[in-house]
Amino acid sequence: MNGPKLLNKGSEHEVSTILDQAATTRPVKGNSISINRYLWDDDGSEAGVAKIYIDTLPGKGSGTFISWKDQKITKNDIVSKLVGVGKIGLIVQIRSLDTRYHLYIPRMYGEVEEVKTVVKSSKLIVKLTKKKQKENTKAWPQLPSKVVKSATDGVDYVNEDLFLQ
């Protein structure tokens, strides 16, 4: 089995969003911060489940990170769903005590049937159940697709309409 590997590492990127469907237990005002650091794990098993591990969240300063376990985030603070035409994208929204975060993949490497989240004390696990198709169940080398089908697929911002679906 291939172990988790760091897929993306980047700087803090703030995006203005409306989290209408996010948890209401912690009212937060302001911008959502993009999650650019996560681990990707897909061993290509017959179960067809790939996983994203998030164990740190972006800090306030450039290049700083906050440990997941220090945030005391519950399942009610997380919304995850497939988005876009054909449900080819993924959005994971997280509310901590004073900040909102999001992981947005406008186009994934392959097709997904279902997305589930598991909240642990030290990390968030996002499980993607891949559609059972000939080539789709093989191990994906990365989460995002490198093929951009339209001009809007590669845009690095969060469309507020995604939160209203």
* Per-residue confidence band for 28, with pLDDT thresholds at 50, 70 and 90: very low
98-121 average pLDDT score: 91
On the question of pLDDT at 7 being above 70, the answer is no
Q: What is the per-residue pLDDT for 110?
A: 87
The backbone torsions φ and ψ at residue 37, rounded to the nearest 5 degrees and listed phi first, read -125, 115
Q: Side chain identity at 163, as an amino acid letter?
A: F
Confidence of residue 137 (pLDDT cuts 50, 70, 90): confident
Token readout for 60 is 């306030």
Residue 148 has pLDDT above 60, yes or no: no
**Could you tell me how far CA 108 lies from the centroid of its own chain?**
11
DSSP letter string, the chain: -PPPEEEE-----EE----TTS-SSS---SPEEE---EEEE----TT-EEEEEE-EEE-SSTT-EEEGGGT---GGGEEEEEESGGG-EEEEEEE-SS-EEEEEESSBSS-EEEEEEEE-SS-EEEEEEE---TTTTSPPS-SB-S---STTTT--S--GGGGG-
- Please, which pLDDT band fits residue 53 given cuts at 50, 70 and 90? very high
Does the model's pTM come out above 0.75?
A: no
- The pLDDT of residue 46 is 85
pLDDT of residue 152: 47
